[in-house]
Amino acid sequence: MFTFPVGFFNFIVSSGGGGTTDPYAANVVLFLKGDGTNGSTSIVDSSPSPKTISVFGNAQISTAQSKYGGSSLYFEGNGNNFGVGADILTTPASSDFNFTTRIYTIETWVYIAGDSLPDIDGGRDAIIVNNFPNSNSITGWSLAVAGDTTSTGTRLAFNYAVNSSFNRKSVTVAISKNAQHHVGFCQNNNTGYFFLDGTVYSVDCTGFNPPTSTNPLKVGGLNFEGYGLYLNGYLDSVRITKNVCRYTSNFNPETDTYLNSSSETTDPYGNNVVLFLKGDGTNGSTNIVDSSAYNRTVTTSTATISTIQSKYGNSSIYFNGTQFIRYSWDTLFNISNTVDWTIEGWFYSESSISPGGLGSIICSANSSGSDSEYSKYFRWIRNNAGDNLFGSLKNGEAETILSSIFSPSSELGIWVHKAISHKADSSGLTNGTTRLFKNGILVQSSSTVFNFNGTIYPLLQLGFNSNSGEGGWNYKGWIDSFRYTKACRYTSNFNPETDTYLNSSSETTDPYFSDVQLLLKFAGANNSTTFTDLSNNNYSITVGGNSKISTAQSVFDGSSALFDGNGDYLRINGNSNLQLANKKFTLESFIYPVSPIGSYPNIFDSRNTLAAKGYTAYIDHTDGKLYVLIGDSNTGSWNITLASTSVISTSTFTYFAVTRSANVTNPSTHSDWKLSINGSVQSSQINIANFVVDDDVELFISGYRTNNGNFNGYIGAVRLTTNVVRDVSTIPSSFPSS
């Protein structure tokens, strides 16, 4: 699970907020939107750390009622006081549901369709979520739409127990039936807050300490010691946020909750993506970037970036019928009946495809790019009639067609989303199910055995399959946003425009964004001289010389900043937020120098004179290496000198990062400075000294105060984050703007 910096996302108290991106998304530990097809029992947790959801009774997705997205979670409210026939959802016990900080928020939209059945005391409570056990010695907590002996919906209640000793909080409110209501409870230490449709009711929570529990979490009801408390109705967007008390004053539940799935931009399976080829770049480039966290290097690529067709952004990957992309096999690519996986992408196939009439989308291959008909391999191909997924049981056995569907040839010449998704059987009793989708519609499924580990054919290959016995099966057309996920994304029909998270414009949020002091992504029209700081500081930028936006080269968003090396610079007025003294920080940039690089071209410079008072980063024209120097304003000498071991390449982007990990108790006396190039630490220095960096006058990008040493080339992006040492061991696929 992701670990955040001390004092950042922890213990946040909010009174609501606008916008479309949830500022507390990283603190969400459960998020059940209830999206799906009517009657489906495939319930997805859309939190950053997705939980496995099990379904009992007749709990299911229903399109009869919904707040967002056209569907919700439906519970009949059946089940006796001992749990028989109960409609509930469960997920295994997790420390995510232990609120030891006494700061948390539990909420949902609820639609009460009818009164809950009475328990053995006659009460008609409807439990929304809880982690109570089903036996004696009760320890756990619960949130309920409570009732009296005649009706459900007379109170909101949050209860907990430790060894059957109960502590209860509630508020009397009227929750009408057959209507959508936003309800929940949040606690901030000694004060609790119930809320109904944006109206907040505070309660004293002194000594109110929900216990830790090793019980599964249940949604829709609970039963213990003869009490059966089940919801008769619908839940939409059940969310638990840990270490955040979201609502402490009245708010607008339509705009201030960030529950609407239409505004959700974070891929719930983002951590499971093992290959993601967006196809972004300049026309004709063979630099195919993997935007997954693994940032894989292409073994061989003859396919090119093309701006002729694109689904997202301005470009995609083009295959002319003989071109391909190859990666060395990784065990994460292994396919098995016991593991969930999804392979998908957008495809724009040309009307004339390869001579063999078949187009290989992805396959395993040997070093020459071919396979053998009777060897262990897998292959997904398309032809004028449809799609086929092939594999083999083991070496020497004939191939097995796992899925075959013959679609209309009318899909040629248009963008089509294709996905193959496998859902394993967790019990291991069956082979699980492999499904083929076209534009979000399930077209065929299969339970054929399928396992592949790349032992014999150690390459993953896109676009090309030279099978000597059957002719070339080579794809001709464009592919946009090709992605391989080790998770089953789709088990029923879905909307490929909104439910795939493939659109590169829907970038994920940055958990450290509030600590970002400068963010320059250089997005804009070609030759524009408008430069925007996307950080919350929104610094004004002075443009010097011929500095301008260029679409000739880019890292993000299709453009970058171009400097001609002759008086071009950007200047930001001084501010203490841009200082690097006595604090943790991460300074990152993508640079694309062109030849000749000039004399000591500066990338950054904060010095108020040519003396060593401030910080500077430049390429030394004598050896082609990158240097970062930090000077002491008291002595005028360089205290920190970091230098790359490798020469900085020209005519390609290089990612570099400077980090400082400061001593927690006395940051001015001990720090570890590092310079990383393309994810690899190439220089480090431990400093034990107290020195002052006078770096709050002005910050120059390309050049310094005397207007000398200007950079010649492109700078793709710049980001400065303070109080945080980021993981710079992989090249970032984006610099999120929120």
Q: Which of 354-368, 371-385, 450-464 has the lowest mean pLDDT?
A: 371-385
**445 with 546, same domain?**
no
25 CB-near residues (< 8 Å, 6+ apart): 48, 258, 266, 509
Q: Please provide the average confidence, as pLDDT, over all residues in the chain.
A: 77
Q: Which of 56-65, 219-228, 608-617 has the lowest mean pLDDT?
A: 608-617
**Mean pLDDT value of segment 147-176:** 90
User: What pLDDT does 675 receive?
Assistant: 92
**Is the residue at 9 inside a domain?**
no
* Percent above pLDDT 90 for the chain: 21
**Is the residue at 165 inside a domain?**
yes
**Mean pLDDT value of segment 33-51:** 87
| Cβ–Cβ under 8 Å, residues 588 and 655 | yes
**Is the residue at 1 inside a domain?**
no
Confidence category of residue 184, pLDDT binned at 50, 70, 90: very high
User: What pLDDT does 91 receive?
Assistant: 93
Task: Please indicate whether residue 689 or residue 736 has the higher confidence score (pLDDT).
Answer: 736
Maximum distance among all alpha carbons in the chain? 86
Confidence category of residue 455, pLDDT binned at 50, 70, 90: low
Q: Which two tokens stand for residue 22?
A: 């949830």
End-to-end CA distance of the chain: 21
Residue 135: count other Cβ atoms within 10 Å of its Cβ.
9
Cis peptide leading into 23, omega within 30 of 0?
no
Q: Does 131 have pLDDT greater than 50?
A: yes
Q: Does 30 have pLDDT greater than 60?
A: yes
The 3-class secondary structure across 132-144, one letter per residue, is CCCCCCCCEEEEE
**Mean pLDDT value of segment 238-248:** 92
Which of residues 256, 281, 296 is at a domain's end?
Answer: 256
Number of H helices and number of E strands within the chain? 0, 51
Element at 301 (helix H, strand E): strand 300-301
**210 with 188, same domain?**
yes
**Mean pLDDT value of segment 154-180:** 91
Task: Please indicate whether residue 266 or residue 286 has the higher confidence score (pLDDT).
Answer: 286
**89 with 205, same domain?**
yes
**475 with 446, same domain?**
yes
**321-362 confidence digits (pLDDT tens):** 778 888 887 878 877 777 888 888 888 877 544 433 344 566
User: What pLDDT does 352 receive?
Assistant: 46
User: What pLDDT does 132 receive?
Assistant: 85
Q: Which two tokens stand for residue 688?
A: 């034990």
Q: Three-state SS for 96?
A: helix
Q: Three-state SS for 395?
A: coil
CA distances from 341 to 41, 43, 55, 168, 421 (A): 19, 17, 21, 44, 6
Structural domains of the chain, count:
3
Q: Does 57 have pLDDT greater than 50?
A: yes
* Residues spanned by the domain of 702: 513-722
**Is the residue at 459 inside a domain?**
yes
Q: Does 397 have pLDDT greater than 60?
A: no
The CATH number that applies at residue 621 is: 2.60.120.200
Q: Three-state SS for 12?
A: strand
Q: Which two tokens stand for residue 649?
A: 């390449």
**386 with 464, same domain?**
yes
**416-427 confidence digits (pLDDT tens):** 888 888 888 755
* Percent above pLDDT 70 for the chain: 74
DSSP secondary structure letters along 621-648 = TTT--EEEEEEETTTTEEEEEEE-SSPP
Q: Does 236 have pLDDT greater than 80?
A: yes
**127 with 104, same domain?**
yes
Total residues belonging to the chain: 738
**614-635 confidence digits (pLDDT tens):** 778 888 888 889 998 887 666 6
Q: Does 282 have pLDDT greater than 70?
A: yes
Q: Does 385 have pLDDT greater than 70?
A: no
**Is the residue at 730 inside a domain?**
no
Q: Which of 37-41, 88-92, 221-225, 687-691 has the lowest mean pLDDT?
A: 687-691
Strand pairing partners for 162?
A: 165
**Is the residue at 734 inside a domain?**
no
Rounded to the nearest 5°, which phi and psi values hold at 388?
Answer: -140, 140
Q: What share of the chain is helix, strand, coil (3-state, %, to 5)?
A: 5, 40, 55
**552-590 confidence digits (pLDDT tens):** 888 876 788 999 888 888 988 867 777 776 678 889 999
Confidence category of residue 610, pLDDT binned at 50, 70, 90: low
**241 with 297, same domain?**
no
**62 with 176, same domain?**
yes
Question: Which residue is it, tokens 């708010």?
Answer: 251
| Cβ–Cβ under 8 Å, residues 543 and 524 | no
User: What pLDDT does 310 receive?
Assistant: 84
**473 with 541, same domain?**
no
**108 with 152, same domain?**
yes
Rounded-to-integer distance, Cα 248 and Cα 252, Å: 12
Rounded-to-integer distance, Cα 512 and Cα 517, Å: 10
**Is the residue at 492 inside a domain?**
no
**Is the residue at 265 inside a domain?**
no
**478 with 551, same domain?**
no
| Cβ–Cβ under 8 Å, residues 59 and 41 | yes
Element at 686 (helix H, strand E): strand 680-687
Confidence category of residue 128, pLDDT binned at 50, 70, 90: very high
Confidence category of residue 139, pLDDT binned at 50, 70, 90: confident
**Mean pLDDT value of segment 525-545:** 87
**319 with 196, same domain?**
no
**Mean pLDDT value of segment 123-127:** 88
Confidence category of residue 235, pLDDT binned at 50, 70, 90: very high
Question: How many C-alpha atoms does 207 have within 13 Å on its Cβ side?
Answer: 3
